[in-house]
Amino acid sequence: MITNWFNQEYTAAFLDKVRKKLKGWRIDLVWDRASSHRGPAMREALESTRIHVHWLPPYSPEMNAAEYWIRWAKETMSFNYCWPDRTTLVRSFNGFVVSMSKRVDEILRRCVPDMHGFSCL
């Protein structure tokens, strides 16, 4: 599913797609408070898909693993570098994403936030 912009409708459609792929599984989402994650369309989608949401506290990017991953991707692909064109940048980004399956230990070291007071066990 490719979209140029996230909104409640696209996010709800994504949740429906995830639920269809993972029938019978309990799905827990950890979400920030982005506008595409809130509102009537999202409440309805979450109820219909039976997906459980755990909300991050407001203004807490240090608890969001995606923030660490995004910073890592930017460091790897764009610090002190200007891409000649969009196609080359996209190709590089796709290569970075594919390389993640071979770097599980590094992902856990770099991207799992230090959740003070929470246990990962």
Separation between Cα atoms, residue 120 and residue 89, nearest integer Å:
35
* pLDDT at 118 exceeding the cut of 80: no
What pTM was computed for the model? 0.56
**What are 34-58's pLDDT values in tens digits?**
888 888 888 888 888 888 988 888 8
| Encoded tokens for 2 | 């490719």
Q: How confident is the model at residue 2 (pLDDT cuts 50, 70, 90)?
A: low
**What are 9-39's pLDDT values in tens digits?**
888 888 899 899 998 899 988 888 888 888 8
Instruction: Answer for the pair 15, 52: CB distance below 8 angstroms, yes or no.
Output: no
Which of 66, 73, 75 has its CA nearest to residue 98? 73
